[in-house]
A and B are shown apart, each in its own frame.
Chain A
Amino acid sequence: MNSIALEVKDLVKTFALDGTTINAVDHVSFQVKSGEFVALVGPSGSGKTTMLSILAALLSPTNGQVLIDGQDMAEMNDKRRVKLRREKIGFTFQSNNLIPFLTAQENVEFMLRLNGKADKAGRVRSAEILARLGLNDRLHSLPAQLSGGQQQRVAIARALIHNPSVVLADEPTASLDTERAFQVVETFAHLIHENNRAGIIVTHDLRMCQFVDRVLQMRDGKLVQTYEAKEEIVQLAMGTLRH
């Protein structure tokens, strides 16, 4: 049985804006197990990006707990949070994902360097994972020499190379055409399952949900719906789901 990699307990994040308090995340709780790929969906302003920022230890919650491998982020100081991000979390962003002056392989290896694990085995592993993502002939290319889809695949390799417990992806398909977007998310899903990591993808594109195991729908900061049945998820992705 897979262990719980990520646990969110009664999470609240409020912002003050022009004298009023906005509940960006409003008492949200859920768990993600190792080997599970979860989509966080919702309209713009629903709180999903705020949620992802908290999960990535980039933003502190107002209330509630986030536990990664049982470690409570709230109890950590800034240094330990940085360490947590480095060791336990893999992250891909919408854009500006890669270090522009490092080659594809160097970008992936950089996570190993950060964790003090850059060695020959790591070099072989980074080449393997990039080859697995169809980039074996682009190992020494700089990001500017890669297409948007190739860059996202390098970012995925970087997010997984150091065996993090949780892999987070923020709209990784936002700048890709449909075909590339499907390829990227499908590969991402395979790697999450293969490597037994907990994966969370934030997306506004419901079509991408066909590759995930569970869909969490947010609205106005609240978790309003969870889809777990494969049939439901496929219907949601196809746009044919009826409530």
Chain B
Amino acid sequence: MGPNIRWTGRTKMKNIFLAFYLALKEVIRNRGRFFLVSLVIALITLLVLFIAALGEGLANGNRQYVANLDAQLIVFLEKSDYIISSSRLETNTLRSVRRVDGVADAGPIYTSSTEIVSLAEPLKVSMLAAEAGRPGMPAVIEGNYFRSSTARETVIDRNVALRSGLKVGDEITIRSTQGVEDEFFRLKVVGMVAGQSYFFQPTIFVPSATWEKVRPQSEADLNSSTAYPNILAVKVTDPSQADVVKARLLATVPNIEVTDIATTINNIPGYSAQQGTVQTQGFFTLLIGVLVIGGFFQIQILQKVPQIGVLKAIGSSNGVVGWAAVIQIIVVTAMGVAIGGGLTYLFSLGFPPTIPLVFNGSRSVIAIALLLTIGPLGGMVSIIYAVRIEPLKALRLG
């Protein structure tokens, strides 16, 4: 038994070495043809990576702020269906939530949007309000937080700085529709936070009282000076007990519903539909890639029928022929993906920051892994075909 196993192992190794020899010699000697096939794979790679990057970029643009919250639970107004814009909490809800056992901290989040008009080109931004140092307010990477809840100050998202050239110390003017009139407010930039896009827009943060004053509001809202938060970000003492704290919150605080960050993101209007669309595009691009690559390798195998017939007639096993086809497909696919990855990187350097492309996401890694499998997957039929070629028929001896 032992020697037999060793013999089988040696034979397999010999077959694989032979297959490598054949596959690589063919690729090297026909490098022009294989380069063209690689280029097609490279173009598919380019397309798939751009779709993946666009998906990541759009997702980031929509969810980045919520995804980066230093919190495990989000409190909404009851029956708001976990939709941030539909939720408007009572002011005393925050105090009630903070008192619940297991809650380490909670911070109110107020959402709105506005337009910075003091720039050469007006820039639409999400205007959020949160309490400095509380869940909901990101860490400042440059400058400071606001001095008070009424200060006419703002902390800007780095994306705002990238697009507008604004820096800490500058002043901005925002336009806000108050009733039926446009009003303009001046805010001083006192700090900057890392990328915090929300609802496809870069973000500026303002204190809660300032937010209530400068946010766009209807005629009816103008009579109120109380800011009602849309949601509360809740940080729990023990994240593994988040479900227990959620149950406690629901039991003790009236008129709320509570969920986690992932559900909150999925309920951002348009997020799921948009991601579904992008993922479907990516899926179909990969599918088309599989079919195109499969077609290429099938044509190549059909052209090589006599050659495979000779190989088999002179004593090459199915193992050698099959492995040679597999290795060749892997080499050509890897070459194509590498070229495509390089091209994608070069193209990405030329894109303006307004186009939401993010290449460092897990999507890009998954896309590359999937791209590396489309060659062998597409070539599966041709590999099976190559193994089944009968030398007698291939050489027209029969």
Which residues in A have some Cβ–Cβ distance to B below 8 Å?
49, 52-53, 56, 58-59, 79, 82-83, 85-87, 89, 91, 93, 96-102, 106, 110-111, 113-116, 142, 158, 170
Shortest Cβ distance from B122 into chain A, in angstroms?
Answer: 63
Please name all residues of chain B whose beta carbon is closer than 8 Å to the beta carbon of A98 when the two chains form the complex.
310
C-alpha spacing A96/B314, complex, angstroms: 13
Given A101-B25, A113-B21, A142-B29, the answer on whether A87 and B392 have CB atoms closer than 8 Å is no
C-alpha spacing A142/B211, complex, angstroms: 78
In chain B, what residue has the closest Cβ to A86?
Answer: B315
Q: Please tell me if the beta carbons of B317 and A79 are within 8 angstroms of each other in the complex.
A: yes
The verdict on B147 contacting chain A, using a C-beta distance below 8 Å, is no
In chain B, what residue has the closest Cβ to A98?
Answer: B310
In chain A, what residue has the closest Cβ to B396?
Answer: A94
In chain A, what residue has the closest Cβ to B30?
Answer: A101
Taking a contact as CB atoms closer than 8 A, the residue among A58, A82, A96, A116 that contacts B306 in the complex is: A96
- B358-392 near A? 1/0 per residue, CB < 8 Å: 00000000000000000000000000000000011
C-alpha spacing A100/B304, complex, angstroms: 10
Please name all residues of chain A whose beta carbon is closer than 8 Å to the beta carbon of B311 when the two chains form the complex.
99
* Central interface residue in B29, B313, B314, by most chain A CB within 10 Å: B314
C-alpha spacing A56/B392, complex, angstroms: 10
Please name all residues of chain A whose beta carbon is closer than 8 Å to the beta carbon of B320 when the two chains form the complex.
114
- B5-37 near A? 1/0 per residue, CB < 8 Å: 000000000100010011001100110000000
C-alpha spacing A114/B30, complex, angstroms: 22
The verdict on B165 contacting chain A, using a C-beta distance below 8 Å, is no
The verdict on B61 contacting chain A, using a C-beta distance below 8 Å, is no
Please name all residues of chain A whose beta carbon is closer than 8 Å to the beta carbon of B307 when the two chains form the complex.
96, 99-100
Q: Please tell me if the beta carbons of B395 and A93 are within 8 angstroms of each other in the complex.
A: yes
Given A58-B392, A114-B18, A142-B29, the answer on whether A97 and B315 have CB atoms closer than 8 Å is no
Taking a contact as CB atoms closer than 8 A, the residue among A82, A96, A116 that contacts B310 in the complex is: A96
Taking a contact as CB atoms closer than 8 A, the residue among B21, B26, B316, B395 that contacts A96 in the complex is: B395
* Central interface residue in A49, A58, A83, by most chain B CB within 10 Å: A58
* Central interface residue in A85, A93, A115, A116, by most chain B CB within 10 Å: A93
Please name all residues of chain B whose beta carbon is closer than 8 Å to the beta carbon of A96 when the two chains form the complex.
306-307, 309-310, 395
Q: Please tell me if the beta carbons of A93 and B313 are within 8 angstroms of each other in the complex.
A: yes
C-alpha spacing A89/B314, complex, angstroms: 8
Please name all residues of chain A whose beta carbon is closer than 8 Å to the beta carbon of B309 when the two chains form the complex.
96
The verdict on B397 contacting chain A, using a C-beta distance below 8 Å, is yes
Taking a contact as CB atoms closer than 8 A, the residue among A79, A85, A116 that contacts B313 in the complex is: A85
Please name all residues of chain A whose beta carbon is closer than 8 Å to the beta carbon of B314 when the two chains form the complex.
85-86, 91, 110-111, 114, 158
C-alpha spacing A49/B395, complex, angstroms: 11
Shortest Cβ distance from B285 into chain A, in angstroms?
Answer: 32
The verdict on B350 contacting chain A, using a C-beta distance below 8 Å, is no
C-alpha spacing A83/B11, complex, angstroms: 11
Q: Which A-B residue pairs are the 4 nearest by beta carbons?
A: A86-B315, A96-B306, A101-B29, A85-B315
Given A52-B397, A59-B398, the answer on whether A102 and B25 have CB atoms closer than 8 Å is yes
Please name all residues of chain B whose beta carbon is closer than 8 Å to the beta carbon of A53 when the two chains form the complex.
392, 397-398
Please name all residues of chain B whose beta carbon is closer than 8 Å to the beta carbon of A52 when the two chains form the complex.
397
Taking a contact as CB atoms closer than 8 A, the residue among A87, A102, A106 that contacts B315 in the complex is: A87
Please name all residues of chain A whose beta carbon is closer than 8 Å to the beta carbon of B18 when the two chains form the complex.
113-114
Shortest Cβ distance from B24 into chain A, in angstroms?
Answer: 10
Taking a contact as CB atoms closer than 8 A, the residue among B25, B30, B398 that contacts A106 in the complex is: B25
In chain B, what residue has the closest Cβ to A81?
Answer: B315
Q: Please tell me if the beta carbons of A82 and B315 are within 8 angstroms of each other in the complex.
A: yes
Q: What are some 12 contacts across the A-B interface (CB < 8 A)?
A: A58-B391, A58-B392, A82-B316, A82-B317, A83-B315, A86-B315, A93-B310, A93-B395, A96-B395, A99-B307, A101-B25, A114-B315
Please name all residues of chain A whose beta carbon is closer than 8 Å to the beta carbon of B395 when the two chains form the complex.
93, 96
In chain A, what residue has the closest Cβ to B314?
Answer: A91
Q: Please tell me if the beta carbons of A170 and B397 are within 8 angstroms of each other in the complex.
A: yes
Please name all residues of chain B whose beta carbon is closer than 8 Å to the beta carbon of A110 when the two chains form the complex.
314
C-alpha spacing A52/B396, complex, angstroms: 12
Shortest Cβ distance from B306 into chain A, in angstroms?
Answer: 4
- B197-237 near A? 1/0 per residue, CB < 8 Å: 00000000000000000000000000000000000000000
Shortest Cβ distance from A46 into chain B, in angstroms?
Answer: 15
In chain B, what residue has the closest Cβ to A102?
Answer: B25
C-alpha spacing A110/B311, complex, angstroms: 10
Please name all residues of chain B whose beta carbon is closer than 8 Å to the beta carbon of A114 when the two chains form the complex.
18, 314-316, 320
Please name all residues of chain B whose beta carbon is closer than 8 Å to the beta carbon of A91 when the two chains form the complex.
313-314
Please name all residues of chain A whose beta carbon is closer than 8 Å to the beta carbon of B317 when the two chains form the complex.
79, 82
Shortest Cβ distance from A157 into chain B, in angstroms?
Answer: 13
C-alpha spacing A82/B314, complex, angstroms: 8
Please name all residues of chain A whose beta carbon is closer than 8 Å to the beta carbon of B14 when the two chains form the complex.
116
Given A106-B25, A116-B14, the answer on whether A58 and B316 have CB atoms closer than 8 Å is no
Shortest Cβ distance from B297 into chain A, in angstroms?
Answer: 16
Shortest Cβ distance from A202 into chain B, in angstroms?
Answer: 10
C-alpha spacing A101/B14, complex, angstroms: 20
Given A96-B306, A100-B307, A113-B18, the answer on whether A56 and B313 have CB atoms closer than 8 Å is yes
Please name all residues of chain A whose beta carbon is closer than 8 Å to the beta carbon of B26 when the two chains form the complex.
101
Q: Please tell me if the beta carbons of B392 and A59 are within 8 angstroms of each other in the complex.
A: yes
C-alpha spacing A101/B314, complex, angstroms: 16
Shortest Cβ distance from B31 into chain A, in angstroms?
Answer: 10
In chain A, what residue has the closest Cβ to B14?
Answer: A116
Q: Please tell me if the beta carbons of A49 and B29 are within 8 angstroms of each other in the complex.
A: no
C-alpha spacing A170/B309, complex, angstroms: 14
